[in-house]
Amino acid sequence: MANSYLSRTSGTATNTDICTLSVWIKRSKLSGNDEIIIGEYTDASNRAKLLFNADQLHFFQKTGGSTTADVKTTRVFRDSSAWYHIVVAFDTTQSTSTDRIKFYINGVQETAFANTSYPSSGQNIRINESSITQLIGYAGTTNTYFDGYMSHVAFVDGQALAPTTFGETDSTSGIWKFKSPTGVTWGTNGFHLKFENSGALGTDSSGNSNTFTVNGNLKQSLDTPSNSYATLNSLNVPTSNAPTFSFGNTKTITMNTDPGYFGGTSTFGASQGKWYTEIKITDDNGVGTVGITFDPAEKARQGTTFSAQISDSFVYANTGKQYSTATGNSGASYGNTYTDGDIIGIAMDLDNSKLYFHKNGTYQNSGVPTSGSTGTGAIAITAGETYFFYLTDVGGATATYECNFGNGHFGVTAITSAGSNGNGSLFEYDVPSGYYALNTKNINTYG
């Protein structure tokens, strides 16, 4: 949602003292920067926001220039591979101050807080006041947005509800999962944004018709609480000169200062099954390289030299060569060169320890990903390892990549036309039969 947000002018509130927010979030940008979930901004003296600040969940508001609420968790939330279910229940009519704002994460109430300035009795909750602009994903000033994924944003005006209204524990896995809210009295300002219609993402499904205006290049995603897709891992980076990530951690810019040859690895890996993804070369700069690795953390630590990084990796470089421990730093002849605008497909067959790359749909070295143990045109990879998709550079320059792990976009640009065999995922080119996108449902079934 970076540089995009949703907005709506509220009506006359059912009860400005009592309300509930439920939202499913998958984080991308992790740092000390503010990541706004919902807020309102009238002016510097009258504002409110629920956000991640220094990776802590934080609700803050000012009224008439005075701070009227400042509650922040002690623990941080830095998992960019999974969805968090956040419920905040507000009820300033409660006699006990700590009951006036309650945070729940994945169904469990937070009890440890770094900031504990609770609102006074009867204090209005600004995000539910009448005739204010409710903002989802934007602070209202200073160009501060949310960068990540949101799903099922629900707001209830007039009730402080438990998380069990919006989620439940799976009886088999024990994992907290989404539950469609039923029997809810939404109140005047209540809404439920499911993001089901790609052409009208602000549509309210609560029955209130409290539809939001879409601002910026907001995109629908196949990444949901029920099926989380791989993205780039913003935690697995060198300690200095780390690559930068954007567009929900699907775009990366490698840095050209040591240890800047490292470009990123996927959040998910697999040790068996057959997996497919696509990488678009946005700015090759003469150094582009894509592939797979079975030691992602070590790749980040080793970032100083390309030869060190290929020790546990198998990659296809822009020069047309392939690199691995077997080939050494000189590489081996493999396929065609590639440059800006080219899309490289990666098909890894972990059942037969084979790897294939295509350039714009044509498999290099006459590769046949469906050839099984025969491995026609394949690169042989080390058996018995857990592999992650991987981006790096062959030289000291800056390169930019955009990854489509199955969501159907390179950055904010949709694929031109979906290939076949996506099995619910959207790729530019045909997915080889028996190969799948790297997401939680497929990993559970095929990995």
Which residues have C-beta within 8 Å of that of residue 340, sequence separation ≥ 6?
A: 281, 282, 283, 284
User: Can you tell me the distance from the alpha carbon of 284 to that of 338, in angstroms, rounded to the nearest whole number?
Assistant: 8
Q: State residue 303's pLDDT score.
A: 67
244-446 shares the fold of 5-215? yes
> Rounded to whole angstroms, what are the CA distances from 24 to 153, 176, 189, 225, 381?
7, 11, 19, 7, 38
3-state secondary structure of 369: coil
Of 141-155, 198-212, 240-254, minimum mean pLDDT range: 240-254
Q: Where are the domains of the chain?
A: 5-215, 244-446
Residue located via tokens 């009886």: 171
Report the pLDDT value the prediction gives residue 392, as an integer from 0 to 100.
Answer: 85
Give tens-digit pLDDT for 15-33: 999 999 999 999 998 876 7
What pTM value is reported for the model?
A: 0.92
* Contact between residue 188 and residue 206 where contact means Cβ atoms under 8 Å apart: no
When the pLDDT of each residue in the chain is averaged and rounded to a whole number, the result is: 93
Secondary structure (3-state) at 29: coil
Write down the architecture of domain 244-446 according to CATH: Sandwich (2.60)
Please state the separation of Cα 296 from the chain's center in Å.
19
Under DSSP, the state recorded for 5 is E
What pLDDT score does 344 carry? Answer: 98
* Averaged pLDDT, 301-308: 72
CATH of 5-215, one of 3.40.50.450, 3.30.230.70, 2.60.120.200, 2.60.20.30: 2.60.120.200
Query: At residue 302, does pLDDT exceed 80?
Result: no
Please determine, for residue 217, whether its predicted confidence score (pLDDT) is greater than 90: no
Q: pLDDT, tens digit, for every residue of 406-438?
A: 999 998 899 998 999 999 999 999 999 999 999
